[in-house]
């Protein structure tokens, strides 16, 4: 059996050329490197824009690495046991974000060893997938927002998403009406409230904004408010989209069973990597829900090419000026290309997402030396939990 020989990490911040707010001027990356017992190597990452990157790295170094060394290196085989091992620290959130760092590296190593891409390893079902323009733009003045929307139109996007949730609903109405005018009647328009409303405010706002032909409204309420989303779905006609802050298959299942969402948007890193993402995609299909992966098109676009046809067109999200390659964060060129509103895959090994280290450093090495880990012994029981 091929096993995990070592797992090392490097924490770095990638500056954003277009800040996502006054305090969000960079995103946190924990670059990961796996070496298997057969010598094959894989590179992955965990990601969190502003909060928790150091905690994610600590979990990877001090909890996931010791528990993973000696386990199967076949993608997905060790995921459930490791998730259960971490569960004392929480079933999702920082724990699943950290698990993604290992999971992505294992998929990368497997694909590189097989001489293919991860999409080729899983099985590519389409050659391109639709992309929509997106921006973290609630803080933009109206003229800057409209200029951004015009750039998306000029670039060939036929769907865009903007942020809503200004203190005064009249401001949202003005902004959405102006965006619709730039887009015209034939392009899709989605809005994202980023959990800013309560049930009453969401009902009022969506009823008012729906006159502008909305394709979906995203995260109108607190992300974990299952009862609120269930009631809101009963009240409104615009499809509800949730998922970027639902961190487990089980929580996504709760929302789908309750009829609290028609669209799910799992973030591949936040749910724990490719392994759970593929399971969530199967779950969504079984419920007849539409799935559009959240953010990170250089990763999510590759996975979208592998998903089965459910009758609904897949879309991936392209946030303006936030691609890792465009930010100069990658060792290699981007594994995907977005042009004329579609994402296609470029030739690359594995995931094609090796993050560039500090100048002069070796991308296969951590920023600081770590203590060696004791290999996992499957004959020994796990530590008891309270």
pLDDT in tens, 54-71: 999 999 999 999 999 999
- In CATH terms, the fold of domain 120-345 is TIM Barrel (3.20.20)
> How would residue 367 be classed by pLDDT, with cut points 50, 70 and 90?
very low
| Annotation marks residue 163 as catalytic | yes
Which residues lie closer than 8 Å to 165 by C-beta, 6 or more apart?
A: 138, 172, 193, 194, 196, 197
Q: What is the dihedral of CA 49, 51, 53, 55, to 10 degrees?
A: -160
Domain boundaries of the chain, sorted by first residue: 4-114, 120-345
Give the count of beta carbons closer than 10 Å to the beta carbon of residue 378. 10
pLDDT for the residue 25: 87
The residues, ordered by sequence, that sit 6+ positions from 23 with a Cβ below 8 Å of its Cβ are: 50
- The catalytically annotated residue of 161, 163, 229, 292 is 163
Q: Given the DSSP bridges, would you call strands 188-192 and 214-218 parallel, antiparallel or unpaired?
A: parallel
Encoding tokens for residue 131? 């992309």
Euclidean distance between CA atoms 29 and 22, whole angstroms:
19
Grade residue 277 by pLDDT with cuts at 50, 70 and 90.
very high
pLDDT at 381: 39
pLDDT digits (tens, 9 = 90+) for 294-314: 999 999 999 999 999 888 889
Q: What is the pLDDT of residues 307-344, one digit of tens each?
A: 998 888 899 999 999 999 999 999 999 999 999 999 99
Say if residues 317 and 297 touch (Cβ distance below 8 Å): yes
Phi (first) and psi of residue 56, to 5 degrees: -60, -45
Q: Which two tokens stand for residue 248?
A: 């487990």
Answer for the pair 323, 297: CB distance below 8 angstroms, yes or no: yes
Q: Look at residue 359 and tell me whether its pLDDT is greater than 50.
A: no
Choosing from 85, 161, 247, 294, the catalytic residue is: 294
* Mean per-residue pLDDT of the chain: 92
Angle at 46 (CA atoms; ends 43, 51), nearest 5 degrees: 155
Q: Give Dmax (Cα) for the chain.
A: 65
Q: Which CATH number fits domain 4-114: 3.30.390.10, 3.30.56.10, 3.75.10.10, 3.40.50.1360?
A: 3.30.390.10
Respond yes or no: is residue 294 known to be catalytic.
Answer: yes
Question: What pLDDT sits at residue 228?
Answer: 98
């Amino acid at each position: 059996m091929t096993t995990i020989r070592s797992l090392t990490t490097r924490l770095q911040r990638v500056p954003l050329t277009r800040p996502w707010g006054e305090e969000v001027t960079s995103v946190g990356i924990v670059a990961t490197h796996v070496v298997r017992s057969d010598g094959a190597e894989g590179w992955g990452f965990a990601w969190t824009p502003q909060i928790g990157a150091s905690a994610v790295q600590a979990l990877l170094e001090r909890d996931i690495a010791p528990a993973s060394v000696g386990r199967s290196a076949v993608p997905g085989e060790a995921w459930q046991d490791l998730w259960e091992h971490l569960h004392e620290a929480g079933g999702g959130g920082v724990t699943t974000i950290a698990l993604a760092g290992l999971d992505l590296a294992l998929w990368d190593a497997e694909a590189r060893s097989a001489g293919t891409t991860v999409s080729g390893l899983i099985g590519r079902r389409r050659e391109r997938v639709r992309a929509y323009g997106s921006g973290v733009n609630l803080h933009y003045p109206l003229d800057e927002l409209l200029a951004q929307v015009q750039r998306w139109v000029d670039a060939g996007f036929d769907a865009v998403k903007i942020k809503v949730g200004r203190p005064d609903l009249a401001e949202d109405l003005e902004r959405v009406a102006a965006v619709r005018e730039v887009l015209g009647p034939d392009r899709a328009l989605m809005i994202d409230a980023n959990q800013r409303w309560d049930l009453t405010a969401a009902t009022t706002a969506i009823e008012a904004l729906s006159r502008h032909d909305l394709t979906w409204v995203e995260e109108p309420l607190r992300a974990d408010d299952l009862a609120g989303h269930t009631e809101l779905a009963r009240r409104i006609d615009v499809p509800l989209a949730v998922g970027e802050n639902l961190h487990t298959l089980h929580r996504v299942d709760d929302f789908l069973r309750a009829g609290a969402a028609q669209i799910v948007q799992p973030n591949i890193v936040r749910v724990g990597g490719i392994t759970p993402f593929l399971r969530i995609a199967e779950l969504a299909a079984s419920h007849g829900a539409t799935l559009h992966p959240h953010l990170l098109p250089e990763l999510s676009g590759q996975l979208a090419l592998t998903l089965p046809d459910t009758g609904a067109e897949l879309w991936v999200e392209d946030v303006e000026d936030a691609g890792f390659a465009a930010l100069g964060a990658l060792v290699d060129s981007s594994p995907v290309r977005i042009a004329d509103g579609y994402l296609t895959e470029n030739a690359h090994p594995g995931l094609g997402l090796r993050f560039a280290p500090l100048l002069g450093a070796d991308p296969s090495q951590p920023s600081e030396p770590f203590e060696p880990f004791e290999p996992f012994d499957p004959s020994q029981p796990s530590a008891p939990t309270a």
